[in-house]
Amino acid sequence: MSSENGKGEQGQFASWFDANRARLLGELGELIRIPSVSALPAHRDDMARAAEWVAARLRAAGVPTVEVLPTSGHPVVLGEWPAADPDAPTALIYAHYDTQPADPFDEWETPPFEPSERDGRLYGRGASDDKGNLLIPVAVAEAFGQAQGGPPIGLTFLFEGEEEIGSPNLRPLLAAHRDRLRADVAISADSGMWSPEQPSLVLASKGLAGVQLDARGAAGDIHSGLHGGMAPNPLGALVTVLASMKDADGRITIDGFFDGVRPLTELERAEIAAIPFDAAGYGRSLGIAGPVGDPAFTPLERNWARPTFDLNGIWGGFQGAGSKTVIPAEAHAKITCRLVPDQDPGAVIAAIARHVALHTLPGVTIAVNPIAGSSRAYAIDPAHPALLAARDVMRAEYGRDPYMIRLGGTLPVAEFFKADLGLDTIFLAWEMPDENLHGPNEFFRLENFDRGFRVYSQLFNRLSSDD
């Protein structure tokens, strides 16, 4: 596509979007009104209704093959629009139509499932995460269909209804429909940007491994006066084990925990250092003195590119007001670890189990029980052609280079696509850190709905012209 034709085509798309914007936002409001809360059984019918709405919207956009696929949980919507040119690449577009619960309801300024537009923002549960972002590539596909009969690349839409509960049924579906999901790259419309003014693209996200430690002593709670100094205390034993897992500087001390961890290169450290981080501001935002952790690494290095170990909860013994002089029979703790590329979640859990066995005090047993949801870390080659194309489109749209960032959180779908379909994933969505995702008064900036339309349309054209 020549630059002249490209400019003319973008002008045509801008006119189409201007003419259809009010309709598209009205449709987004319709989807927000469906309380598609995947975690609550009371909303099972709403989940089915949302899936049918999404499928109907794909058909209205012109997608020739659309199915609602059942799973053991909530359905997946699959749409297929092959490119007219058999040599054109295909992109697998991923998003999710489910939302988090909306409570506490009394903290919403307007009802969570009744969209409300205020000051260029659309408020409602799921407006940003992920319904607004889901609708953008669908609208772009519709625009291409009306302008030239179809998109310049093949598009396969995969919209699930269980992302907010960990996608428990996605991998079996990927295996069952592997042939239909063949593509050259995946594009996730579930992600975020650094800020409204500063774009970003994701190079890596962390994996996850979790365990629950269950400590047992006597057969039941016992009198601390009758048995103190003689009977084992599982709560004390558990605390002793937990305290042995990190040193005073926050370094993880579990033997074998770092097996497979790639050392950061000087280039990687320089790239991370180029991203602004206000340590004092970070501390103020959390009401703490500032970031803590292994002093050999910067805060962003620790969060983005080094494995972490966090105690999420601990309980056991008497919890009520006042005093009860007992030695508890049991105690428990939950631990999660965020992992980096080449770490094996199973190997990390095994290292924790060995450490627990080595440090457990006499008279107590501590079982190490893995928590469901383990996932490997994900990373994309910074030179991946689709990532470079997205970077160039971002630069043209924003007038500045996107930050190339890593995430301290886990994005399991990227590893699913890599392991099960052999696809790398580009994250392209406009959820913002301040848009109250998962909280009351969630909103979506409508300027980013406009911007997302421009970016996706340009990216599809760019991918069609890249060798």
Question: Peptide bond preceding 341: is omega within 30 degrees of 0, i.e. cis?
Answer: no
Q: Note the pTM of the prediction, 2 decimals.
A: 0.90
Pairing of strands 326-327, 308-316: unpaired
pLDDT for 12: 76
Q: What are the chain's domains?
A: 3-205+377-465 (3.40.630.10), 207-261+307-375 (3.30.70.360)
- What 241-244 contacts at long range (C-beta under 8 Å, 24+ apart), as own/partner pairs, is 241/213, 241/355, 241/356, 241/359, 241/360, 241/366, 242/213, 242/311, 242/314, 242/333, 244/355, 244/359
- Yes or no: say if 327 and 364 are a contact pair by the CB < 8 Å rule: no
pLDDT for 13: 86
How many CA atoms lie within 13 Å of 261's alpha carbon, on the beta-carbon side? 18
- Yes or no: say if 315 and 235 are a contact pair by the CB < 8 Å rule: no
467 residues of the chain, pLDDT tens digit each: 334 445 556 677 889 999 999 999 999 999 999 999 999 999 999 999 999 999 999 999 999 999 999 999 999 999 999 999 999 999 999 999 999 999 999 999 999 999 999 999 999 999 999 999 999 999 999 999 999 999 999 999 999 999 999 899 999 999 999 999 999 999 999 999 999 999 999 999 999 999 999 999 999 999 999 999 999 999 999 999 999 999 999 999 999 999 999 899 999 999 999 999 999 999 999 999 999 999 999 999 999 999 999 999 999 999 999 999 999 999 999 999 999 999 999 999 999 999 999 999 999 999 999 998 899 999 999 999 999 999 999 999 999 999 999 999 998 999 999 999 999 999 999 999 999 999 999 999 999 999 999 999 999 999 998 75
